[in-house]
Amino acid sequence: MAIGGTFVALIAVFLLYRARPPSEEVQIPKPSPEEVELLKIRQVAGSGLAGKLELKKAETTSQGWAVTLVAEVNHVQLDSLLEQASAAFSEMKRAEIPVAIVELEMHTDVLQDRFGRRVPELILKMAFTGETLGKVVWERFDPRDFPYVADEYWLHTRLHPQQEKLFEEKAKEEERGITSDESDS
């Protein structure tokens, strides 16, 4: 009889437990607007759409976010670096968060010193205020125009010859009346 009584008692406890409403449901706190925006910034850095980016800084200011992204690159082909930069800034605009300033730094260790040693160096740095970032139509932007459009633009001296060549190519296209949209097709 003890086994039967225990069985009945277990069934009774089970039925009582199921019949009563849960005492407390687990509440997942809603993220604050600031937390949502920071998540969007981290998604831009980790998306891979603009190459391998690292989020160096993300701070709120009275004008919006101050963001610094860093890319470690294994080449010094300026046209490719500018395309990558264009993708990074485009992704920041697409995140639709208030931005005070977005800075992008590109570093490499493929440059060598006079002794033939590879030296890690900053090769490209540019920044856009939120206002300028919002003005650019990134889907049609010609990355060769970064020096004229960015609020801050700095290029390592070893890349200056490539910059001059890109300027010359663009000037020739403009002389022939070719826009960047036409040269893409």
In a domain, 163, yes or no: yes
Q: What is the pTM of this model?
A: 0.77
In a domain, 7, yes or no: no
Q: What is the pLDDT of residue 185?
A: 47
In a domain, 9, yes or no: no
Mean pLDDT, residues 1-12 taken together: 62
Residue 151 pLDDT greater than 90, yes or no: yes
Q: Count the domains in the chain.
A: 1
Q: What is the pLDDT of residue 6?
A: 66
Distances (CA, A) of 9 to 5, 17, 114, 158: 6, 12, 86, 84
In a domain, 21, yes or no: no
Name the residue range of residue 176's domain. Answer: 31-184
Task: Return all residues near 177 (Cβ < 8 A) that are at least 6 apart.
Answer: none
Helical axes 78-94 vs 160-176, angle rounded to 10°: 80
Q: What is the pLDDT of residue 137?
A: 97
